[in-house]
Amino acid sequence: MTLWKKLALSAVALGAMVGTSSLAAADDVQITTVVKLAGETWFTRMDEGVVQYGEETDGVTTNEIGPGKADAAQQVRLIEDLIAKNVDAIAVVPFDPPMLEGVLKRAMDRGIKVMTHEADNLKNTQVDMEAFDNAAFGAHFNDQLADCMGKKGTWTSFVGSLGSLTHVQWADASAANAAEKYPDMKLVSPKNESFNDANTAYNKTKELLKKYPDLKGIQGGSAVDPIGIGRALEEAGLVGKICVYGIGMPNDTSRYLKSGAVTGISLWDPKDAGFVMNKIAKMLIDGEEFTDGMDLGVPGYTNMKLKKGPGKGIIVTGQAWIDVNKDNLDKYDF
């Protein structure tokens, strides 16, 4: 390519952090990924996949942006800015999916391609990509927690927010699984909101320990929840006495996995998700067909299941989750 240039987004003026962009040629199509929170380790890792797709794909420039705090209104403003710039495609990880319905419709009305991730309730998207079946993932959390707890005792759950769709789906599926299979497990104070902040998870865990001194299990929903939960349990001298499972990044959570304050984490690699999201956006730009069982060329996304979404779009689902504990932690360096 010739005539290289950096794409500067006025999103910076809105207080957003802009991730690394691939270099742009004048005739490149532009795909921008909008995440829940700039600077969070999860989305820093996702940006690696976003950049990789742009570097490996001729005629495409990619970049990632996000608000300075987990806030749907800030995401709306970022997307409005992208509509004004008339980018070719927007890939979004919504903080609160229903809050984005209007702005995503405006984007599509302008001819901008829209794909989303972790938002299978959105009507105004052409493709929503899920890394796996969210109900199965939530039930899996609960099965792990139950095994650790001896299938009895008091437990609770966290979510990033009550508007964070997948977090709520995991918590609800976990609760339903426990109600069906583990009658001696008692759920208390479900879906505590951490707002994707480890300090909030830490403080709420301390409150829960005071309120429920017999607590035996905690399920995290945000990627930083296990960090805050693990810290609170270490300070309280409860390592090994309370079972903790949740979403997390291996390197971020390693200290607490090694100490036993966190029993295990499950996740999908955000780098892979970022790459796949941009690949789907390019497929939309090119008018490619989406088929059940299609192979997107990334482990966990080689047999995509396709179904109709709640609007005019589709939902494509992979099988990309992995389980990490202190015994296999060294396999995952991110």
pLDDT digits (tens, 9 = 90+) for 219-242: 999 999 999 999 999 999 999 999
Q: Mean of the per-residue pLDDT values for the chain?
A: 93
Query: Residue 281 has what pLDDT?
Result: 98
Task: For the chain, give the longest Cα–Cα distance.
Answer: 66
Q: Rounded CA gap, 276 and 280, in Å?
A: 6
> DSSP letter at 304?
B
Q: Rounded CA gap, 121 and 92, in Å?
A: 13
Alpha carbon 231 to its chain centroid, in Å, reads 22
Query: Residue 6 has what pLDDT?
Result: 28
Name all domains of the chain by residue range, CATH numbers in brackets: 10-132+269-319 (3.40.50.2300), 134-267 (3.40.50.2300)
Q: Rounded CA gap, 180 and 214, in Å?
A: 22
Length of the chain: 334
Segment 97-139, tens digit of pLDDT:
999 999 999 999 999 999 999 999 999 999 999 999 999 999 9
* Average pLDDT of the residues in 200-226: 97
Q: Rounded to the nearest 10 degrees, what angle do helices 41-56 and 270-286 cross at?
A: 40
CA dihedral 123, 129, 132, 137 (to 10 degrees): -50
Q: List CB contacts of 82: < 8 A, sequence separation 6 or more.
A: 9, 11, 32, 34, 90, 107, 112
Instruction: Give yes or no for a contact between 274 and 46, defined as CB atoms under 8 angstroms apart.
Output: yes
> Which residue in 109, 81, 105 sits closest to 13, CA to CA?
81
- Measure the N-to-C terminal CA separation of the chain; round to a whole number of Å: 32
pLDDT at 4 over 70: no
Segment 9-50, tens digit of pLDDT:
333 333 344 445 655 566 899 999 999 999 999 999 999 999
